[in-house]
Structure 1
Amino acid sequence: MKFLKLSLAASVALGAFSTASFAQPLEDAIKGIDVSGYLRYRFNSDYYDNGNNNSNSDNTHRWKAVADFKAPVADNVAFNFGVLYNNEFNNVQGTGGLGSGLGSGKDGSFGVSTFNAVITPDSTATTVIIGKQRLATPVTNAGDDDRGTGILALNSDLEGFTFAAGAFDSWSIDDVHKGYTSGGNDGTSVTKPLYTLAGIYGVDTDYGHFGAQLWGFYIQDAVDALGFGELSWNNATFDVALQYALAKLDNSDSSILGALHPTSFVTGANFVGVPTNRANIAEANDLFVLNLGANFAQEYNVPLDVKLGWVTNFQDGTAVTLNDDGTAFKYAGAIWWQNNATAISTSALLNRGVAGFGSEQEISVFYGAIGYSMVDSRLRIGLDYVWGNNETKWKGYRNSEDIDFQEITPRISWKHNKNLTISGYYAYLMTDGPNPVSGNEDQDRARARVEVKYSF
């Protein structure tokens, strides 16, 4: 195949000619195009009390609209195009009654979320996606608008197996917006290459479904190696999952993590030899999750579901993902891993809840959740409970910091119809012990959320 370089004038002329030649009525042009997406509204009311007579509350209105257009396949090629409106990241509360992200005025942004070609050859069970696409991996969250521009190939020629390989020269994670951009959802991208390989296996037997997956990631000047693995089993009632992630992060002076994490904030007479020119993050990180679940609706006609789990780590830190609220880890609770109160975070990109360079962190978290459905399974009420401990030993610090915490989260959801769901929860988090980030002994945090989501 030969590629011709055209002058600007020739390109414009060719474009005009093509447009005139293939012009057609709008009804014919959109025939066969599939449209999917959702409209979502969230109201968050957050409360914070650091135990030193310093409390604060913050209410935000968050609007999101997603529409994805998929053109019909022609000669084994289809094109996808998506648009997005989101004020999720532009939610900074100001002073004196002023702030952004409050649902009025200019909030959020509107733009192209996906733009790619999908190639599906007839001779093989292979799909190749080229262009701007959502990053749906165990360490990212496509639902949180994590995206990459590059190529992803999926192959399922071997029965029961799916293999994936991806290379992206730029990518965007919502955690980057949360922590380090000044304009809210301004489309900031990381321009260091991201590579991934994966193998996924699943088989149905007389004893239930057995599954396994293994992912590997490399990001230049950020992640030297990151792996995620899962073993799972489930039948009509019970399910079990073992999950483990291991990350070796590049926290050198030239790493992009050094730009995202400011120099160490650990100072004072109790600290000696704390580095000030490295990313504030441990190099060796891992996380282990054991999850046990049961749903008694199908076999026993009892609309009750339960799950129990344990979370811990064995390396120096827990930063094993690129998005702390979008991993495949099967947690219960809503906020215990998403704030500084517990000093726990799984995101390598957020400067919160992670131990500093040269420090050691050990967590142990137990959780349980129960839910009951009624009114033809349209109404569900549930309760999550989490108890955890985080012991952090800062490099150069004379003593360890030991935080105990509990989270209690009642939930409710109503499925009005197949498109519209209304849901909400109230998460209450209590911590006890000196916090290595804020220095406060005890903290209370709470979040009330109401969500209305219409899918189409």
Structure 2
Amino acid sequence: MKLVKLSLVAALTAGAFSVASATPVEEAIKDIDVSGVLRYRYEGANFDNDFPGQRSNLMTSRQQHLYKAQFNFSAAIADNFKTFVQFDYGAKDGGYGPNVIQNDKNTLAVRQLYLTYTDENIATSVIAGKQQLNTIWTDNGIDGLVGTGVKVVNNSIDGLTLAAFGVDSFMTSEQSSKSADGTYYVGDMGPIMSLITLDGFPGNLYGGAAIGSYEALGGDFNPQLWLAYWDNVGFFYALDMAYSTTIFDGVNWTLEGAYLGNAMDNDYDKYGIDNGNFFGLRGSIEVAGWDASLGGLYYGDKDRATVTTIEDQGNIGSLLAGQEIFYSEGSNLNGDLGRNLFGYITAGYTFDEIVRVGADLVYGGTKTDTHSGGKKFEAVARVDYKYSPKLDFSAFYSYLNVDRDHDADGDHNAIRLQALYKF
């Protein structure tokens, strides 16, 4: 089974856009590669009156339409040099109600702009400018955290990608929102990252990664090692290992495990923020169109806030299940108060390699020294339809139940319909 892993080469060395004033328009257009994404989402959610705890990180809108468009232009401008620019448009409509969201002031903006230099003799690329970070602690999708800095990627060793990066600013405004009452918060960065980034920016982020892809014991072995230092914030480290093989005729099996940890600066002790530790393990199997997985997670502290990821759920989605449970109070991976223990099972069937129907079941709980801990359960039903190599449709329904230790239990229901076109 082919593992879908983080690829720094694909994510970071995409080419560029530049047109010299003396170049004829016809030639300039001919030399430009154009790609992009168009995405539409419909979301709806509701809570029962007794739902306990903070709701803001869950899907909260009773009815909402969300739009995303990205247009990428890349081209070679000289020997070994490429530039890249990405235009981004994001908007949402509130449907009905007194706080209908207006989009009349939304505009197309430059989201990424960087220059790439590649020396094929030493299999090394240098990428400088405004670019999506694509680390294990940040989202690797189309909404991932953008920063301004330099990355160096080397592939001179067979089966191994080495990378180093330095970032001196984050585009946190893209992860930011305002609630209906005008309160400012950084949604995807989490409450703790909001504190760190808004309470005086602490410093630059420096790091490196070693990402391997090897054939071993009749299968594929994919290890990742990540190290980073965020000036005046802390030291971050992560190890992810995945192994996949065919154990019987037509039976594909994968085992993945990861540890993410950090040592936070002592200055954050006054905010009640402690060092974080995350452990995740997942085993998956595929046979004759069927797929299933079993996994578990352990992270957090019952009396201190901790951080696992910098933005949203980072790039550890292959170790997660469910849809809303890890956005509930006490369980946010991007920073929260609570010790979490979860187990999950997923299963599905794919018809003619086009339509998959599946379900996730996640059970566990959050332990705190306050009244906010409790048991949690989520059931998710999913449908994914691959209409063509470029166009996908998907939908899910999520039912989340939270039973607080010292409060009534409550339910949360959420639905999402999505169309995604990549060109």
Query: Which TM-score band applies after superposition, normalised by the shorter structure?
Result: 0.7 to 0.9
Quote the residue 1:429 is aligned against: 400
Q: Which of 289, 301, 316 is matched with 1:328 structurally?
A: 316
1:175/1:243 CA distance change after superposition, 3 Å = farther
How far has the Cα of 1:431 moved from its partner?
Answer: 0.9
1:319 maps to 2:307: yes
Tell me if the contact between 1:47 and 1:447 (Cα under 8 Å) persists in the aligned partners.
Answer: yes
Letter in 2 for 1:326: G
TM-score (norm 2): 0.81
CA distance in 2, matches of 1:202, 1:47: 44
Q: Which of 432, 441, 445 is matched with 2:408 structurally?
A: 441
Letter in 2 for 1:233: Y
1:107/1:50 CA distance change after superposition, 3 Å = farther
Q: Which of 335, 344, 347 is matched with 1:367 structurally?
A: 344
How far has the Cα of 1:444 moved from its partner?
Answer: 1.2
How far has the Cα of 1:68 moved from its partner?
Answer: 1.1
Quote the residue 1:382 is aligned against: 358
- Structure with the bigger RCO (C-alpha within 8 Å, sep 6+) is 2
How far has the Cα of 1:202 moved from its partner?
Answer: 1.9
CA distance in 2, matches of 1:288, 1:24: 54
User: Normalized per residue, which structure has more strand?
Assistant: 2
Quote the residue 1:227 is aligned against: 237
Identity of aligned pairs, percent? 27
Unaligned stretches of 5+ residues in structure 1: 1-18, 256-276, 297-301, 349-353, 356-360, 395-399
Quote the residue 2:100 is aligned against: 99
Secondary structure, aligned partner of 1:61: strand
Quote the residue 2:207 is aligned against: 196
CA distance in 2, matches of 1:52, 1:74: 59
Secondary structure, aligned partner of 1:137: coil
CA distance in 1, matches of 2:398, 2:184: 28
1:218/1:87 CA distance change after superposition, 3 Å = farther
Q: Which of 325, 333, 347 is matched with 1:346 structurally?
A: 333
Quote the residue 2:284 is aligned against: 293
Tell me if the contact between 2:63 and 2:95 (Cα under 8 Å) persists in the aligned partners.
Answer: no
Aligned-residue RMSD, C-alpha: 3.0
CA distance in 2, matches of 1:278, 1:364: 26
1:256-312 per-residue CA deviation (whole Å, 9 max, x = no partner) reads xxxxxxxxxxxxxxxxxxxxx943x5311111000101122xxxxx11111110001
Q: Which of 105, 127, 130 is matched with 1:129 structurally?
A: 127
CA distance in 1, matches of 2:274, 2:300: 13
1:283 maps to 2:274: yes
CA distance in 2, matches of 1:184, 1:389: 25
1:390/1:179 CA distance change after superposition, 3 Å = farther
1:431/1:53 CA distance change after superposition, 3 Å = closer
How far has the Cα of 1:219 moved from its partner?
Answer: 1.6
Tell me if the contact between 2:376 and 2:401 (Cα under 8 Å) persists in the aligned partners.
Answer: yes
1:63 maps to 2:67: yes
TM-score (norm 1): 0.75
CA distance in 1, matches of 2:394, 2:52: 33
CA distance in 2, matches of 1:322, 1:178: 17
Quote the residue 1:410 is aligned against: 381
List aligned pairs for 1:71-90, cutoff 5 A: 71-72=75-76, 74-87=78-91
1:175/1:230 CA distance change after superposition, 3 Å = farther
Q: Rg: which structure is higher? A: 1
**Where has structure 1 moved over 6 Å in runs of 4 or more?**
52-56
Q: Which of 89, 108, 111 is matched with 1:110 structurally?
A: 108
Q: Which of 261, 273, 288 is matched with 1:246 structurally?
A: 261
Unaligned stretches of 5+ residues in structure 2: 1-18, 188-193, 247-251
Secondary structure, aligned partner of 2:308: coil
How far has the Cα of 1:379 moved from its partner?
Answer: 1.0
1:115/1:373 CA distance change after superposition, 3 Å = same
List aligned pairs for 1:135-146, cutoff 5 A: 135-143=133-141, 144-146=143-145
1:404-455 per-residue CA deviation (whole Å, 9 max, x = no partner) reads 11100000011111111111100110011247xxxx4322112100001111
